Amino acid sequence: MDQVSLPEPRRDTRLDRYLDLYAQRTKGLKASAVRSLFAVANRPEVVSLAGGMPNIGGLPLDMVADAAGDLIRQRGPEVLQYGGAQGEPRLREQICQVMALEGVQAEPDDVVVSCGSQQALDLITRTFIEPGDVVLAEAPSYVGALNTFQSYQAQVVHVAMDQDGLQPEALRQAALGCRAAGRRVKFCYTIPNFNNPTGLTQSLERRRQILEVAAEVDLLLIEDNPYGLLTLDHEPWPALRAFDHERVVYLGSFSKTFAPGLRVGWAVAPHPIKDKLVLAQEAATLCPPVFSQHVVSAYLSEWDWRGQVDRFRQEYRARRAAMLQGLEDHMPEGTTWTKPGGGFFVWVTLPEGLDSQSLLATAVTNRVAYVPGTGFYADGLGSRNMRLSYCFPPPQQIYEGTRRLGEVLAEAIDLAQTFGLMAAPGQPERSDRSDQPDQSDQTEISVQPDRPAQPVHPEQLERFTHPAAPAPSDGAEPASPTGPTPGAPPEPTPLSIRSE
């Protein structure tokens, strides 16, 4: 055998020569086994119920191509040039018209265009958040927002939801509790329409109550509304911003109603905030993409875009029906799910004893993918939940995906029962949908995870102390300890609620 030659000096390395240069806030950026599985989920063999990609196959691509070509040919030096940081004036006028459909009265000068509403959220967070500041967010909440908050070292305190969305009393207690503990609460982030990931929508009465609480405790609301026009069962409801111009920053997007690849979204904010956002936009990008803005503007002015949104709704209705039927046909006993009135997502709660993170590997092996629920909590909850998207695959694939998922769950239940992690057959301790009384087309659902989000108490804030828990990205692992905090109030019974 050859002998090894041992080099001198010994190489001592962490394989990242820049390690000492990174900012503290990057410490949470880590590889994730769960996230790595999405590399497989994107393969065509896999029915992906994971991603939130809109189905834009029905767009008038010839019209868009002609509009883009005409813009370059006829106005190239203008539309390929830098623009203003606030966004193109004509588009801001049109954005006001779009928002009017949800009752928002705004002037073009109230609007700041951004690279998707995601960037608007980033600008808002960088404008308001210093390390350690508290952001209140629905439980569960959009993973991209949690990532943004984490990247600025905010502490996310979750606020419980029920069938009507964010709970006003929980919001009040969270805000007051944080302040009593000496924390600075900068804003509350909410998705009133078809919440990502639950699909739930705030009722009109609930919106009023939330605004009352916000006024009472002097709280700024960030209203993220990418799905508001994609309502499937009724006309769009008034936005929070429609009722309060001073306490609500509204985020909108063309990513779901037109084309996400153009990256055009916006914020509407009270003027002092708007002015800060414009300056922040200048610092971040100089200006949002000018050509994309002009393409969107042309689309809005030259195409029956409202008719196009109606056609999207038709497609999403068929997809939603396929998913809900598939879940009804294939989910095992004890599984519950939301019944969204619009948007893209269904939130599934698994029987106790199953873990959606550890099941993902088996699911991918069985050629179906979803997003584990833990990604939508900053505090590690959600292990019994999964987010299913019905927006992208065609209906028959969605149905097939639920069938495969049903097989995965059946096998997992068998395994968990074998190891005593679930009640054995004949010992049901879970709700059985077939045993429920007829609810006239309403499905028994639960938005609560394995442990309900609590109104925050001062003692609980200890678990949000520095360093900021690394928020997960889509499908990522939980970031912080999940155990109850000593001194925390007893946990109430998980809510069982009904869909719209």
Partner 1 sequence: MSHPIVVLAGGLSHEREVSLLSGRRVAHALRAGGHEVVEADVQAGLIDQLTALDQPVVLPVLHGGAGEDGALREVFELIGLPYVGSPAAACRLTFDKALATPVVARAGLAVPERVVLPHDMFRELGAGAIVELIGRRLGLPLFVKPSASGSSLGCQKVDDLKDLPAAMVGAYSYGRVAVVERFVSGVEVAVAVVDTDSGPKAYPPVEIRPDSGVYDYESRYTAGATHFLAPADLPPEVIQRCVEAALTAHQALSLRDISRTDLIVDPAGVPFFLEGNVAPGMTETSTVPLAIEAAGESFGQVLADLVARARARVQAN
CA distance 158 to 177: 12
Cβ proximity to partner 1: between 98 and 359 the closer is 359
- In the stretch 18-47, what mask flags binding to partner 1 with x, by CB under 8 A? -x--x------xxxxx--xxxxx--x-x--
437 binds partner 1 (CB under 8 A): no
Piece of the chain touching partner 1 by CB under 8 A; list 12-20, 108-116, 227-235, 386-394: 12-20
Site string for partner 1, 362-401 (x = CB under 8 A): x-xx------------------------------------
184 touches partner 1 (CB under 8 A): no
Q: x/- contact string, 252-271, with partner 1 (CB under 8 A)?
A: --------------------
d(Cα 500, Cα 496) in Å, to the nearest integer? 13
| Closer residue to partner 1 in complex, CB, 223/477 | 477
Number of residues that bind partner 1 (CB under 8 A): 43
Nearer to partner 1, 81 or 418 (CB): 418
Which residues are paired to 248 by β-bridges? 221
b/e burial code for range 9-37 (CB count within 10 A of at least 16 → b):
eeeeeeeeeeeeeeeeeeebeeebebbeb
CA distance 412 to 401: 16
Among 232, 284, 421, 497, binds partner 1 (CB under 8 A): 421
Kindly give, in sequence order, each residue whose CB lies less than 8 Å from that of residue 78, ignoring residues fewer than 6 positions away. Answer: none
Q: Quick one: which segment of 84-92, 153-161, 395-403, 418-426 binds partner 1 (CB under 8 A)?
A: 418-426
Of 284, 237, 230, nearest to 86 by C-alpha is 284
Give the binding range for partner 1 (CB under 8 A) out of 11-19, 127-135, 338-346, 447-455.
11-19
Question: Which residue is listed with tokens 């019944």?
Answer: 339
CB–CB of 376/388 below 8 Å? no
Please identify which residue in 170, 359, 405, 468 interacts with partner 1, judged by CB under 8 A.
359
Asked if 5 interacts with partner 1 (CB under 8 A), we say yes
Q: Find the shortest distance in angstroms from Cβ 11 to partner 1.
A: 4
Instruction: Looking at 181-220, list the stretches that DSSP marks H as alpha helix, in order from N- to C-terminal side.
Output: 204-216
Listed in sequence order, the DSSP H helices in 106-200 are 116-128, 143-151, 168-180
Among the listed residues 127, 256, 273, the one whose alpha carbon sits nearest the alpha carbon of residue 191: 256
Contact 337, 346 (CB under 8 A): yes
Q: Which residues are within 8 A (CB) of 260 and not within 5 positions of it... i.e. 6 or more apart?
A: 53, 54, 56, 116
| Positions in 397-416 near partner 1 (CB under 8 A) | 412, 414-416
15 lines the binding site for partner 1 (CB under 8 A)? yes
Q: Give min distance, CB of 19 to partner 1, in A.
A: 4
Nearer CB in complex with partner 1: 10/73: 10
State the DSSP code for 181: T
> Whose Cβ is closer to partner 1: residue 222's or residue 364's?
364
- For partner 1, the binding residues (CB under 8 A) are 1-7, 10-16, 19, 22, 29-33, 36-40, 43, 45, 358-359, 361-362, 364-365, 412, 414-416, 418-421, 477
